Structures are given as structure tokens and as C-alpha cells.
Structure 1
């Protein structure tokens, strides 16, 4: 049975600050109860509450406290930065409830910022090519998506955009379409006031964002449905 989200603990961000300062397994184990009570368990409540609300809204996104949360531990095997712990905790809700799907809802609670995103993030080559082709060959549909997002106070994130047109798309000269085709991701974000993470109202805020981002989900899903499965 889902436990309603009542907000992150008041010590959630201070815990992340202290963990970032110590970066010590011994310190983390000594303070594990604080991590679980103030941050991890409320995050699980948030994910499962959002899952229910997203289902009711027909958004096709779900998750649970076991599969959706990312670990606080960093993967340092191939990293120069060997600090063992992240400065944030995050989670994904997706069409099948795993972290392997595209067209997802992402929540990030961290020291630098708190935000949510709806994204097609690093889509595979076939899907990314299909999205670029859709922009080039059906510009009206893409521009309608951009206008719908604009009406909903959202815009595509340009993070990681290529400097030049990908091969095969040099012929696209319209500035807006050319810029979009250079994207490696298709995502929108919503900044969350860190002061607001401690109240149940965060759920309504995130549901509202997901509904405003639905045009991006719909656009990507229509394209994805026509991409052959390997």
C-alpha cells in the first residue's frame, strides 16, 4: 500500500551537505538512519504517490521505491573523481517502471539545485534518427509541439547540442529546425524551489509539470511507435 508523500525531512539537504563534506563510508553508515528517514524513504513515498497520480492522469509513467531510485553511491570505476557519494538523490518514472525506457519523468534533489524533467535522454541511434527525420520532414508537427510547450511555459533544453548539423541533415536550413536537429536529447525541465520540498504540495507541483510536458511525451511516443524493434 502506498504511503502518501508528506515532504522530505528538514534535514534532507543538510544531510547531503554533510555527506559531501565527509565523503566517508564510516560517516555514512553512522548516519544511515538520517539518510533513510529524511531523504530516501520520503523519496520512495514521492515516487509511488506520483505513480498513482500519473496513472489517474493517463500519463503512462510509473515507478516504485525499489526500482526507481538511483543509488546515493557513485560509480567511480572509470572516474577521475573518486569521491564515493553523490551530492544528490534522484529517481525515474518510466512507461514500464524501469530505468531502461525512454520518454521518462525524472526528479533530482541535490545541493546545487532541485528540479524535475521529462525527457527522451540519449535515445538510441534508430530513435534519435527517427526524431531528427520527423523534424526535417514534418516541420509543422514539430513547430506545433514547440508552440504547445511554449503555451505551457516550457521550452526544449539545449544541453549537449551538437555544434554542427549531423550527417545527412545539412540541407535543413530553417534556423529553428536546424537547431532542434542538433539536439542529442529532447527534454524539458522544471526548477523546484528547495524550500518547497518539505511539503506534500510538491506532488501537485510535479503533476502539473508532467501534464504541461505531455506534448513532448506524445510527440516522442508517436515517433517511437514506428521505429523497428531490434
Structure 2
């Protein structure tokens, strides 16, 4: 386990703002030490501190500083926007510690916003089909999960929701189930005050959010184990 998370450096967000004006490898290399000290190293500490906490709580989410964080460099090969650097840094904690696993905690620290999400994001086609089928076949379980999220101050996002019911689900008549079946992802988010990322209490904020979002994790995991027939 790495160092315990003590907070992002006070220069974390100012560095990301400055990066927007200095989109060059030369500037980044000149300021790499600041990036490492204020952002990358604390983010690694955060991932590994959360891994330890989640392990103790049995949440089934883990990561490490090498595999869990996304690069700050952008893949510009097929992008119209050729700026080489993101103005954010992010990481995923997942059941197996990889970025490709499903049912994850995503943490994003950026100039535009800071947030965390518990997500079944772009689930593989067979899992998405199973989730949609479970909503229809076992509606009480879906509604119980949604109610539990609401009781915990959370809601499911409607991000990128389909306009129409997908093929095979055209007969779903109940409004709440129809909305759910049209989801392409199953996500709940927590907005983070950037002022709160600079101390160890940020760990407690993320642990609290993940516990409140656990009904969504549990719902998806149950479907993985026992998909509708």
C-alpha cells in the first residue's frame, strides 16, 4: 500500500488551468515536478487509500497508482481538437483493479468540474441486454434499488438515454420502467466541491458516496450472477 492520502496540492487546479494556456510539451516538462507533486502522486495515494478502505468495508472495488489512473495526455490521432493535454485527471477503482471491468467508482478532478460516479458505463452488450431484461422481468428489484438511491440522496443519470424503446422492449408500458430500459448506462454521480480536495477528509466524502451508491453496484452484480432467462 502506498502513502496515505493527505490531499491534493493547493496548486492542483491552478496547474490544470495554466495547462489550458500552455498546451506544449516543453511547458509541461518544465512543470512536471509540480504536476507530480500536486496531482499525480496525491491521486495515486487517494486510489490506494480508497482501496484499503473499500477492502475493509467489503465493497469489492480496488485499484493502484499504476493501473487505475488515466493519462493526462490526449489521444489526438482522430480528433479535430489537437491539444495534447487534458485539463483534468481521473481514475477508476473496479472489482479487479482494471479499467476494463464493470461496476466501478470513477473519480474526476478537473477545471470544468470535480465529481465521482458509481457506474455501469457502456456495459458489454450481453450485460446491457440482461439489465434491460431484469428491469422488465424483476421490476420490484429495480424499483427497490432506485428507491434506495433516492433515500440516500442520489438518482440515476439519464445521460445518453435513448429516445425510443430499444428493439425487443417496445411493449414496456410503465413509464419508469420504459425510462430505465432506454438507458445506455446505469450511473449515479456526486458533485465535489473543489475546495474539499485538499485534505484527508476527501477520502471520507468518497467512501460515504460509494456506500450510498452501493445499491446500484449490488443490483448490477446480482444481474451478472443471475441474469434473467
What's the TM-score, normalizing by structure 1? 0.98
Provide the rounded CA distance (Å) in 1 between the counterparts of 2:124 and 2:79. Answer: 23
SS in 1 for 2:107: strand
Provide the rounded CA distance (Å) in 1 between the counterparts of 2:82 and 2:49. Answer: 35
Deviation track 1:32-58 (CA, whole Å, cap 9, x = no partner) reads 000000000000000000000000110
Q: Which residue of 2 aligns with 1:75?
A: 75
Q: Which residue of 1 aligns with 2:120?
A: 120
Provide the rounded CA distance (Å) in 1 between the counterparts of 2:137 and 2:127. Answer: 15
Structure 1 residues 1-230: aligned runs within 5 Å: 1-226=1-226
Provide the rounded CA distance (Å) in 1 between the counterparts of 2:192 and 2:112. Answer: 11
Provide the rounded CA distance (Å) in 2 between the counterparts of 1:21 and 1:136. Answer: 50
SS in 1 for 2:154: coil
Structure 1: any 5+ residue segments left out of the alignment? none
Shift of 1:226: 3.4
Provide the rounded CA distance (Å) in 2 between the counterparts of 1:146 and 1:207. Answer: 20
Structure 2: any 5+ residue segments left out of the alignment? none
Runs of 4+ in 1 over 4 A off after TM superposition: none
Shift of 1:78: 1.1
Provide the rounded CA distance (Å) in 2 between the counterparts of 1:225 and 1:2. Answer: 33
Provide the rounded CA distance (Å) in 1 between the counterparts of 2:2 and 2:152. Answer: 30
Deviation track 1:34-88 (CA, whole Å, cap 9, x = no partner) reads 0000000000000000000000110000000000000000011111111100010
Provide the rounded CA distance (Å) in 2 between the counterparts of 1:125 and 1:56. Answer: 32
Deviation track 1:183-212 (CA, whole Å, cap 9, x = no partner) reads 000000001100000011000000000000
What's the TM-score, normalizing by structure 2? 0.98
SS in 2 for 1:198: coil
Shift of 1:225: 1.7
Provide the rounded CA distance (Å) in 1 between the counterparts of 2:38 and 2:150. Answer: 36
